Each structure stands twice: as C-alpha cells, then as structure tokens.
Amino acid sequence: MRLRRSEVMLDGETGNIHIGRTKEGVPRVRAETAEGLAFGLGWVHANDRMLQMLLMRTVLQGRAAEQLRGDDRFIKLDTYMRRMNFVPDPERMLNGIEENVRRQLYRYAEGFNRFLSENGGPLATRLLCYKPKPWSVFDTLIIGKVFSFIGLTDIQGRMEKLIIQLIQKGIDETRLKDLFPSITERIDYDLIGRVKTVQTLVPETFEWMRDVPKFVASNNWALSGDHTRSKKPLICGDIHLQVNRLPAIWYEVVLQLSDNKLAGTTIPGSPGLIVGRTNHIAWSPTYTFMDMLDYRIEHCKDGRYRRPEGWREFSVREEVIRVKKKDPVRIRVYENEDGVLEGEPYEEGYYLLLCWSAAGDCGAEDFNAMMTLPGIRTAKDAMAQFRRLDVSSFNWAVTDTKGNIGLQMSGRCFDRKQGISGLIPVPAWLKGGGFGGWIAKKRLPSVYNPKEGFLCTANNDINDMGRSRPINLPMATYRADRIRMLLQGNKDITVEDMKKVQYDLYSVQAERYMKLIEPFIPDTKNGRILRGWDMRYDLGSVGAFLFESVYMTIMRTVFGNNGFGSEVFEFLVDETVFFHDYYGSMDDIVFNDKSSWWDGLDREAVLKSAVVQGLSVRATRYGKTRKMTFSHLLFGGRLPRFFGFDYGPVRLAGSRATIPQGQIHNSKTGALTVAPSFRMIADMSTDELHTNLAGGVSEKRFSRWYKSDIRRWLRGGYKVL
C-alpha cells in the first residue's frame, strides 16, 4: 500500500491513522494521539522520501564508501564522520529523553519500517546492490545532532582554522583584528606558528553531502497586532540553505489531532515540526552564529598530552572503514576530555584539538523540547521550551493567538574567561586553558513583546539582547536593516505585504557602496547605467551586473593585490565560505579610512581605479550570470537531461545582502546555491500557514509532486496549508 491521491488508513496501536494529501500534494496525517501522528509521519516519510533518508543515514554512519562508491572522496567523507563521532553516548542520550517523547520516536521508526516491510526499498537501492535495514531510533538521534552541526557550526570551526592559517602566513595582528574585531586578546604568533595544521584551509567534505541538510543563513520577524490589519500577531520566516538539489531538503506536512492542528516542515528521518504553527503558536528559526566550536593547542609527545600536573594518555578509538571493492581503511582517533585531536601525537609538537560544546552528554533535551512544543499555548512558554535546546543553536521567533511575540536564542555555548574571544586557540596545558562550563541559558539573548512592536533577525549580531556574548562572527546587518526599514511605521500590515518583503530585492549594501563610489563613476555608458541603478537585484538589471563587477574589483584590489595576495584571495572566494558569509567584515574595512589595510595606499586612488576597471566590462543583464540547476541527490549530473531527474537551468534573483539571499557558489567540489529554501507566513487571526518550497514533496522522478512547488517558489506564489 502506498499513498498516491486517495486517502490511506493505517491501524496503529492507539487508533486508526488517516493519511491523505492536500490539492498541492502536501501529506495530511490525522490521528487520535501524538504517537499515532508520529507513526503516520514515519510511514509517509518512507512513502515520499525513503531514498533521501537511507542515503543520509549511510553518510552519517560513515559508511558511504562501503555502500555507495569506494572512491577517495567517500573514504575522506567517512573518515570525517567517524572522527567526529556525533553521538558518542547514544544509550545515555536515549535515556535522557522523556517517556512520552521516546514513545513517539519508536512509533516513528515503526511507521517507516511498516512501509519498508510492505513495499521494499526504492529502485535506486537495488541498482546500488544495497538492501535497506529497518530504521532505528538511534538513526533519528544522530540526525538530530548532525542537523545542528553541518553547514554553520562547522563553518565557525573552519573560520577559526582560517584565522590560524592567516597568522601562520604572516598577516599582521593589527590587520587581523581589523578583519575580525571580536579578537581582543594578544596573539602568540610564535606558538601558533609552530602548530601543526593537519587539514587544508577548508575541508571539502561537506560539499559532497547534498543529502544532509545544511543551514547557511535565514530571516525571521514577528509583528504585534499594533502593526497588523488583523490586530493579531504576524510571523514570517525564510530559511536560507542549499536549494540546488532534488528532492527538497524540507518535507511539508499537516498533522491533525482532535483538538489541535499542526502545519509546517519536517526533516525526513525525524518526527516533529522544525518550522510551522499550531492552533495556538507559530515559530521560525534563524541560525545564531553562536560560537560552539573552539580550537585548543595541545603539546604532545609519545602519544600523550601535557597538563599542569604532568602528561596524560589520549583515549584511542580505532575505526575500520569498509570500502566497496577495495581493502578496508583503518584509522586511529585520539581524544581527551576536551575534544578530538588533529594528527598523530607521537612526534613531539603542538597540535590542534577540536572542541564542540555539544559533543557529548546532550541532545536529549532538544528532542524533549521540540516534540512537546505542539502542546504549548503561549509565546512565553514556547521561549522556555527553546531555552532547553543544547545542540540546536537558533534564534527562535514565536507568536501566539493571545497577541504576544518573542525571540529566544538557544544552544550550549562555552563560558569563556574575559579577554578570550574564542577565535584564537588557547594552550590547553596552562591553568584555565580547559573548559569553564557553559553560559547559563537565562543569559542568552531574548526579548518578549518589545516596545517597538516587532522583532527580526537575519544572522546578525544580537548579543545586546542578552547578558552574554555568544556571537563573535556575525553576518552583516544588511538584511535585518532592510526588513526593519520595511516594517517601521507601518500599522496596517497584511500577509500580502509580507510576501512582497520576502521577495524584496533591494540591497542596503549596494546603497552604502553607491554613496562611497559615486564621485568616482565615470561619465561613460556603463557609468551612466550604474549611476541610474535602483539598487535592486532583478534578473533583468544591467546595473546590478555592473555593480557586482565594481564591487568584486574593489575586493580583489584591497584584499587580494594589497592584502592576502591574489592567489589566496581567489581561493577564499572560490573554495571557502569566508567571503560568502563574512563579506560584512571586509565591507567595514573598505569604509574605514583609518583601517590598517589602507596603510601605504592612497584609498581614493585605489577606489577610483577599481571603479573604472570594474566598469570596463561588457555589460549584460544580471540574470545571465545567475543560472542554477536543481540536481537529484543521487543521479544529479550523471544521467542525460531528458531523463528528467534534474530541473533547470533556472535563474536566481537576489544577492548576498538582499532579504532573499541569492548566492551561487561554484567551486571545484561542485555548485552550492544558497537561497530561501522554505518560506512561511502566519497571521494568528487565522489557522492558515502560507508557504512555498524549493522543490516538491516527493523524491520520485515520475511523481507529480517531484518538483511541484518550484515555479511557485521562483515566481513568488504561495500555497495555504
């Protein structure tokens, strides 16, 4: 039995479960209990997204080289996953989950396995000679942890590795602190220069993990009834992550109990809504950029590490990576009480130790909070739920039908000593070089019913909303500034107004730069086009194309030719996330004529030259540079286009700094396109959720729901759940 168009009824332990679809194909699960909903969700996830779940499980278990392809890339991928060991204490984690939540997790696995036993695995698994094993609760537990790590938490670690390598390349301290203003401590160049950095500037591992969801950025905002036509709160969210893939990362669903209805998105492999609403509350997250990763320096020799009282032995974990049609690969992982070592500690020297605040003894509360969230009735109680999260670091915007709005940061963050930024590795053998505990959750940023009547976040610095400073590498404020600009002073806001905001293509970054470069724009054809540009990143805009040419020329001149060196700069742009996430730090240097990056340079002459050079290109429409293709997670690019597994090319509007980010990152390891993967709007005066999705419900190529939402997503249309 499969779900197609007619309704399916399943017999569950707690009553019958009815599963159908809305007219847009979104599954609708109706049950008498939360356990029944979990069973039905597991079954319908298997019906529509089994391949996605099985591939994700294979990758997260570190078995891709064994079950998919035995090439070097997958061996490296498996090596990374085994080294990280995301759930080192699964039994302890499971025991920490509340009984009612644990029952839902087991029912979810049972629902998946019911479908698998009755229908078998997808065709692709047979082509891979892979027989799927039943789904386990432990498979869901690891998804819960990795979902919060890959894409952003790991980016923090990669940025800290970049800082180490910039120090080793001789970037002076003044310039480094101009680029990373959160660094306040003195930098020991001699010690860091002796550290053995094992991995390259940025590991390529994550570029191959298309089947694992990666948060990259997001927007959310909420308005009180004082600003809305309905006189009830209104909440909006759009989650920016990889969109150039099929099936979509998200799986939309409507879940219905006799006294409550839920609508929103889930991650296949895990029960419960990540984003959505109930009859009483609605919520949407953005990533916090909380610093949950630190590097420490370990002094090692003879397989041991140094502490004030003497030398200690590492714990050694041996892993065997089985490889398809090849001999197995054996690795040894060295760990201590603080983290995982990079390298072999037998040759005396200084090594990096990667420390993740959520590595162990946590994760259960994340499931407890999110799985019981549907029973919450007020924004204040929902904020208390979000504070329980340890692994998941997000800024949660929430509203309720009683008229309240709130924002709560979640996550477990190191409580560092004053003067320790978290961006520079600390010698672990010195007194106080280890952990100092965690920041108390009540000190994390939060706000409830702000006096201005609205709130918003866009991965910007919100440390001032709390009594701690968990963010040390925020993104630029441009998107948040634009959202506030469109909300302030408006007392009659509707859902239709918010749809326009979610597709607004005006760039505050461009506005800022145009004021700076206006005196240097020549009176040429291209110069006149740029001067008349409306600062919107429409596909047909020639001005947007010319501005990007000028902007990148400024970046290459200041940070390439006169900074890192051209080769290093191009590597940062093409092969890392540095420029795509942290361009705001570079912008601040360009606008600061006192910055050390301008020492020895005539700033006005540099900018004038860059503008002239940037405008010397052959002008074209912005959209001609904005092609992207939705690629199937397994067969993408491997089959002729007429088979229809891939969709496109299409053209993506927007830029790094517009409300709907549109970042296309083409590197040697593949294309990564970052844009709003899912949009939601909820007016709490109704029980509706307005959404669109970068894809469709089904992963099956010949299903009418395979790519059913893409045109709506591209054109600004919404469906109503």
* Identity of the amino acid at 93: M
Give the Cα-Cα-Cα angle 481, 484, 489 (nearest 5 degrees): 145
Rounded CA-CA distance 344/348 in Å is: 10
Judge if the upstream peptide bond of residue 247 is cis by omega within 30 degrees of 0: yes
What digits encode the pLDDT tens for the residues 539-565? 999 999 999 999 999 999 999 888 888
In the three-class reduction of DSSP (H, G, I as helix; E, B as strand; rest coil), residue 328 is classed as strand
| Residues contacting residue 549 through CB under 8 Å, at least 6 positions apart | 614, 615, 617
Helix (H) or strand (E) holding 423, with range, is none
What digits encode the pLDDT tens for the residues 286-299? 999 999 999 999 99
DSSP code per residue over 64-127: HHHHT--SHHHHHHHHHHHHH-S-S-HHHHHHTS-HHHHHHHHHHHHHHHHHHHHH---HHHHH
* Gyration radius of the chain over CA positions: 25
Give the pLDDT mean for 64-70: 90
Rounded CA-CA distance 66/377 in Å is: 47
For residue 476, pLDDT beyond 80: yes
- 267: tokens are 């991650």
Crossing angle (nearest 10°) for helices 34-60 and 137-146: 70
Residue 394 neighbours by CB distance under 10 Å: 26
CATH number of 9-149+251-278: 2.20.28.120, 3.90.1200.10, 1.10.439.10, 3.40.50.10490?
A: 1.10.439.10
Average per-residue pLDDT for the chain: 92
74-83, 215-224, 273-282, 559-568 — most confident range: 273-282
Burial of 627 from C-beta contacts in 10 A (0-12 / 13-18 / 19+): middle
Backbone φ/ψ region at 40: left (φ over 0), alpha (ψ -120 to 50), beta: alpha
Rounded CA-CA distance 491/500 in Å is: 16
- 554: tokens are 């400024």
Residue 100 neighbours by CB distance under 10 Å: 14
User: Dihedral through CA 167, CA 156, CA 465, CA 421, nearest 10?
Assistant: -30
- 15: tokens are 């009553």
Q: Confidence band (pLDDT; 50, 70, 90) for 50?
A: very high
Give the pLDDT mean for 11-32: 93
For residue 200, the model assigns a pLDDT of 46
Rounded CA-CA distance 235/233 in Å is: 7
Rounded CA-CA distance 90/137 in Å is: 10
- 95: tokens are 């025991």
Burial of 477 from C-beta contacts in 10 A (0-12 / 13-18 / 19+): middle
The residue extents of the domains of the chain are: 9-149+251-278, 508-624
In the three-class reduction of DSSP (H, G, I as helix; E, B as strand; rest coil), residue 555 is classed as helix
Q: Confidence band (pLDDT; 50, 70, 90) for 43?
A: very high
- 420: tokens are 């320790």
Helix (H) or strand (E) holding 405, with range, is strand 405-409
What digits encode the pLDDT tens for the residues 645-662? 999 999 999 999 999 999
Q: Confidence band (pLDDT; 50, 70, 90) for 198?
A: low
For residue 561, the model assigns a pLDDT of 83
- 147: tokens are 């979902």
In the three-class reduction of DSSP (H, G, I as helix; E, B as strand; rest coil), residue 331 is classed as strand
In the three-class reduction of DSSP (H, G, I as helix; E, B as strand; rest coil), residue 635 is classed as coil
Rounded CA-CA distance 480/658 in Å is: 9
Q: Confidence band (pLDDT; 50, 70, 90) for 197?
A: confident
274 or 217: which leads in pLDDT: 274
CATH number of 508-624: 1.10.1400, 1.20.272, 1.10.287, 2.60.40?
A: 1.10.1400
Rounded CA-CA distance 50/10 in Å is: 18
For residue 572, the model assigns a pLDDT of 82
Rounded CA-CA distance 423/295 in Å is: 8
* Order of strands, sheet of 245-246, starting from the edge strand that comes earlier in the sequence: 245-246, 627-632, 647-651
Pairing of strands 405-409, 446-448: antiparallel
Q: Would you say the CATH fold of 508-624 matches that of 9-149+251-278?
A: no
Q: How far apart are the first and last CA of the chain?
A: 25
CA 59 distance to own-chain centroid: 18
Q: Confidence band (pLDDT; 50, 70, 90) for 151?
A: low
Give the Cα-Cα-Cα angle 235, 236, 241 (nearest 5 degrees): 145
User: Dihedral through CA 345, CA 348, CA 350, CA 356, nearest 10?
Assistant: 20
Helix, strand, coil fractions of the chain, as percent rounded to 5: 35, 25, 40
For residue 15, the model assigns a pLDDT of 87
Contacts 24+ apart (CB under 8 A), 490-497: 490/227, 491/226, 491/227, 492/228, 492/229, 493/223, 493/227, 493/228, 493/229, 493/234, 494/228, 494/229, 494/230, 494/683, 495/234, 495/681, 495/683, 495/690
Rounded CA-CA distance 452/118 in Å is: 55
Burial 665-685 (b: 16+ CB within 10 A, else e): bebebebbbbbbbbbbbbbbb
Q: Which of 271-285, 502-516, 575-589 has the lowest mean pLDDT?
A: 575-589
Q: Which of 91-105, 114-128, 282-296 has the lowest mean pLDDT?
A: 114-128
Q: Confidence band (pLDDT; 50, 70, 90) for 433?
A: low
Q: List the one residue out of 161, 142, 159 whose CA is nearest residue 84.
A: 142
Q: Confidence band (pLDDT; 50, 70, 90) for 206?
A: very low
- 285: tokens are 């997250």
Number of residues written out for the chain:
721
> Residue 4 gets which letter from DSSP?
S
Give the pLDDT mean for 318-344: 95
47 or 670: which leads in pLDDT: 47
What digits encode the pLDDT tens for the residues 579-621? 888 899 999 999 999 999 999 899 999 999 999 999 999 999 9
The fraction of the chain above a pLDDT of 90, given in percent, is 79
Q: Confidence band (pLDDT; 50, 70, 90) for 205?
A: very low
Residue 12 neighbours by CB distance under 10 Å: 22
For residue 216, the model assigns a pLDDT of 65
Rounded CA-CA distance 355/401 in Å is: 41
- Identify any residues that bridge with 414 across adjacent strands, giving them in sequence order: 438
Give the pLDDT mean for 209-225: 74
| Residues contacting residue 150 through CB under 8 Å, at least 6 positions apart | 206, 209, 212, 213, 214
- Identify any residues that bridge with 394 across adjacent strands, giving them in sequence order: 287
Q: Confidence band (pLDDT; 50, 70, 90) for 434?
A: low
Rounded CA-CA distance 71/349 in Å is: 32
- Identify any residues that bridge with 260 across adjacent strands, giving them in sequence order: 257
Rounded CA-CA distance 721/523 in Å is: 52
Q: Which of 154-168, 369-383, 424-438 has the lowest mean pLDDT?
A: 424-438
Give the pLDDT mean for 58-75: 91
Give the pLDDT mean for 249-275: 96
Residue appearing with tokens 């690891």:
142
Contact 621/545 with Cβ under 8 angstroms? yes
